[in-house]
Amino acid sequence: MPFADDLPVPVGAWAYPAAELLLARAEQLALMTEEPSRITRRAFTPTMREVQEQVAAWMHAAGMSVRRDNIGNLIGVYPASTPNAPTLLIGSHLDTVRDAGKYDGPLGVLAGLACVEQLTASGQHLPFNLEVIAFVDEEGLRFHTAYLGSEAVSGDFKPDYLHLTDDEGITLADAIRAFGGNPDRIAQDRRDPATLLGYCELHIEQGPVLEQASIPVGVVTAIAGQTRMAISFRGKAGHAGTVPMQLRRDALCGAAEFILAVEAYTRESPDMVATVGRINAYPDVSNVIPAEVTISLDVRHKDNSHRQRVCKMLLERAQHICITRHLTLDWRIVHENPATPCDPALSGILGAAVQQAGYPLLHLPSGAGHDAVAMARITPICLLFVRCAGGISHHPDEAVQVGDVAAALDVLHHFVHLLANQLSLGTEQ
């Protein structure tokens, strides 16, 4: 889809071909999917392995040393000009949602790779190691969590996670083992904050703000907090033809009433979003009254206490529905993270890079979650958004323009050089 007002800003001569190459690579990765007619790439699968092998080959060719950590994140290292230098991480994730777009995740990994390729081409090394990190699980499609890869790196991976099972009953521990990782050593994946300069993520915006402002890139201020829950309503199965309506304990009707209550409440609540994206009914048979229904609930807001208040209010609503319908309720939080501000100093350098590259500086918040949320617990983070066609994401129509990707690569290039200058000045003092 063409954008109306492309800004006539020249980008570095290398950036357009680099952006074209990046988009061709994104097309190539999109072919590596578990489902032939759509992009679906769960963590720890042979398909993830295939994608990692391709990205690892590009990393090798760019002059990086490549390794996998114990959970299975892929990491390419472009060494610093001096020994014992700190490390800047650039990355994002390679897993997807079901029936995904091509850019949510891969764009950030491929941008890091392009940044290193540009350095290699000009024979430059920086006063810091540049590591491109491709997280193995961010979306949580397989184990219904979020950030498993980046939480291993931030040291927030909880050993209990290893007992989580996927829809086939495979435990996370077994999935990691089958992928070639080592679930017993995930604690060792934690990076020492003292060795890190920061984490920079480039990501498709997944919203309409940049498009409406006719600007190719934007600097993120903060990432909204989120709570993900698994909620089960339990009633009693019965014959669809014989149990009178007044005597039923229909779990699906209880869940349906709750889902509509969530929608009605959040429509009235500014900036609040809540989504029921999964629904599982048992026994899932057309002539049996549903006995048990489990739904997901994803609640997000920029204000932590407001999000928590709303979650509590929704719990009370679910309890009330269950009392009136003679159901029982199981309410479980599967993931929670607070709103995460980006680091002002690192974001300041990113903003300076945007301006140095010749673009207007626009700041915006992120409603979507990113690996940067986990990384912020151990190192300063910054996030650069790239304009997204129609604001569409988590959908196969997700699209970016080559000129915008070139702009983003140009900004990233300026960013690493500004950081290098700052570090050199700091060490000279």
369 binds, among Mn ion, ligand HGY, none (CB under 5 to 8 A by kind): ligand HGY
Q: Using CA atoms, how far apart are residues 223 and 205, in angstroms rounded to an integer?
A: 12
Q: Which residue has the tokens 């490549």?
A: 66
One symbol per residue from 27 to 56: x for binding ligand HGY (CB under 6 A), - otherwise; what is it?
A: ------------------------------
DSSP symbols for 145-212: -S-HHHHHHHT---GGGGG-B-TTS-BHHHHHHHTT--GGGGGGGPPPGGGEEEEEEEEE--SSHHHH
151 binds ligand HGY (CB under 6 A): no
What phi and psi, each to the nearest 5 degrees, are found at residue 210? -65, -40
Nearer residue to Mn ion within complex by CB, 105 or 112: 105
Q: Which two tokens stand for residue 95?
A: 């897993």
Is residue 77 a contact point for ligand HGY (CB under 6 A)?
A: no
Query: If binding is defined by CB under 6 A, does position 138 make contact with ligand HGY?
Result: yes
Q: Which helix (H) or strand (E) holds 75?
A: strand 74-78
**Window 369-398: contact mask with ligand HGY (x via CB under 6 A):** x-----------------------------
> Least distance in Å: CB of 351 to Mn ion?
22
CA distances from 169 to 96, 174, 181, 241, 284 (A): 20, 10, 19, 33, 18
Looking at the Cβ atoms of 105 and 235, the one nearer to Mn ion is: 105
**In the complex with ligand HGY, which residue's Cβ is closer, 223 or 349?**
223
- The nearest distance, CB 211 to Mn ion, in angstroms, is 18
In whole angstroms, the minimum distance from the beta carbon of 394 to Mn ion comes to 6
Q: Could you say which of ligand HGY, Mn ion, none residue 91 binds, taking C-beta under 5 to 8 angstroms by partner kind?
A: none
Question: Which window, 83-91, 97-105, 190-198, 309-317, contacts Mn ion (CB under 5 A)?
Answer: 97-105
Q: Which distant-in-sequence residues (6+ apart) come within 8 Å of 1 by Cβ?
A: 389, 390, 399
**Least distance from C-beta 370 to ligand HGY, angstroms?**
7
**140 scored as a contact of Mn ion (CB under 5 A):** no
Quick check: 298 and 97 in contact, CB under 8 A?
A: no
Strand blocks (E) in 224-358? 225-234, 273-275, 279-282, 292-301, 328-337, 340-341
User: Rounded to the nearest whole angstrom, what is the least distance from the CB of residue 368 to ligand HGY in the complex?
Assistant: 4
Is residue 139 a contact point for ligand HGY (CB under 6 A)? Answer: yes
368 contacts ligand HGY (rule: CB under 6 A): yes
Q: Residues 387, 407: contact at Cβ < 8 Å? A: no
| In contact, 23 and 408? CB cutoff 8 Å | no
- By CB under 6 A, name the binding residues for ligand HGY: 138-139, 368-369
- By CB under 5 A, name the binding residues for Mn ion: 104-105
